[in-house]
Amino acid sequence: MGATALGVTRLRAIESNRASPLVVDPYAERILEAAASAGSAWTAGSGSGAPRFFQLMRDQVAVRTRFIDDTIAHAVGDGIAQVVVLGCGMDTRSYRLSWPAGVHVFDLDLPEVLAFRDEVLARFVGSGSRRTSVAADLREDWPRSLVAAGFDPTVRTLWVCEGLLYALPAGAADELLAEITRLSSPGSSVVADHIVDSPAFAAAREEVSPELLELWQGGPAHVDTWLSRHGWEPEVRDLRDEAVRYGREIPEEIAGGQDEAPRTLLAVGQLASTN
Ligand SMILES: C[S@@+](CC[C@H](N)C(=O)[O-])C[C@H]1O[C@@H](n2cnc3c(N)ncnc32)[C@H](O)[C@@H]1O
């Protein structure tokens, strides 16, 4: 089941226990316990003894998750009534956030990933939001599965791509956005984080496992043109700047040096409204 998704969950569990956390995920520890009993080794921490990779990713995950939570709050406050979380992994925001009545959240990931997460969460969480799990492969006809699950392309939607873009080759990221665009009514939004790879970051991944090294497929070369080519108005931020706002720091191995182009990014795209 989504090994890398468990690594992210581990970091959210650690964040939840920090003083002044940016995100509190009350289910992260439960998921990790269930994964550990299922034999997953992906529950390493981010303390000084943990592989450098987890130390590098710790604040990136905290900041990006908080930024996306805030973007969601803003979007649903603005009347967006559908949210689709692509490659949701062990993300629990459809359970942990307080959703206004009428908002429909779709969580999409591979069948075995969703089956594990939903089975664990069903033990602890009652049915709150209008939430639908969509078991689908982003390399196949996922739009059909999404629509079959109740997604309505005529309703304004916020699309969430968290921890996903860099796992896709550039062409696949382009195809993904083409499908998102086809399914989006005017006034829809997309939010994504991205990490541009570097030799130092690749070395930190290689220390963990060959699979983690290979997970980085590059994603879009330029997130702003990735969005604008498909008709989305882009707003791309350096994740380091958001981190500074929260009193956090992103290490140079993943964020780039002060004189380099930023390597950790947060992007929001907007499709113009018709009115
Ligand atoms: C690094 S994890 C991030 C999970 C989650 N978004 C988060 O931030 O906690 C990437 C997720 O993408 C999912 N994923 C990767 N390839 C996929 C595909 N072809 N179809 C559906 N999901 C996929 C994985 O199963 C995994 O859960």
How far away, in angstroms, is 274 Cα from ligand 1 center? Answer: 32
Q: Is 15 in the pocket of ligand 1 (CB under 6 A)?
A: no
Q: Does some domain include residue 168?
A: yes
Q: What is the model's pTM?
A: 0.96
Residue range 116-158, pLDDT digits in tens: 999 999 988 866 669 999 999 999 999 999 999 999 999 999 9
Q: Does some domain include residue 201?
A: yes
Q: What is the CATH number of the domain that holds 258?
A: 3.40.50.150
pLDDT of residue 209: 86
**Structural tokens at position 163:** 């921890």
Domain count of the fold of the chain: 1
pLDDT of residue 275: 58
Atom 11 of ligand 1, residue of closest alpha carbon: 87
What mean pLDDT is predicted for residues 153-182? 97
How far away, in angstroms, is 258 Cα from ligand 1 center? Answer: 30
Q: Does some domain include residue 9?
A: no
Q: Is 5 in the pocket of ligand 1 (CB under 6 A)?
A: yes
How far away, in angstroms, is 63 Cα from ligand 1 center? Answer: 18
Residue range 52-81, pLDDT digits in tens: 999 999 999 999 999 999 999 999 999 999
Atom 13 of ligand 1, residue of closest alpha carbon: 87
Q: Is 162 in the pocket of ligand 1 (CB under 6 A)?
A: yes
**Structural tokens at position 242:** 């958001």
**Which H or E element spans position 71?**
helix 52-77
Q: Does some domain include residue 28?
A: no
Q: Is 111 in the pocket of ligand 1 (CB under 6 A)?
A: no
Q: Does some domain include residue 219?
A: yes
Ligand 1 nearest-atom number relative to CA 9: 9
User: What is d(CA 146, CA 151) in angstroms, rounded to the nearest whole number?
Assistant: 6
Domain containing residue 253: 52-271
Q: Does 189 score more than 60 pLDDT? A: yes
Cβ atoms of residues 177 and 183 within 8 Å = no
Q: Is 91 in the pocket of ligand 1 (CB under 6 A)?
A: yes
**Structural tokens at position 161:** 């791509």
- Which of 160, 164, 213 maximizes ligand 1 atoms within 8 Å of its Cβ, making it the mutation to test the pocket? 164
Q: Does some domain include residue 86?
A: yes
Q: Does some domain include residue 58?
A: yes
pLDDT of residue 8: 93
Atom 25 of ligand 1, residue of closest alpha carbon: 2
Residue 115: CB atoms within 10 Å = 14
Question: Tokens 């996922």 belong to which residue?
Answer: 142
What mean pLDDT is predicted for residues 238-251? 96
Cβ atoms of residues 269 and 234 within 8 Å = yes
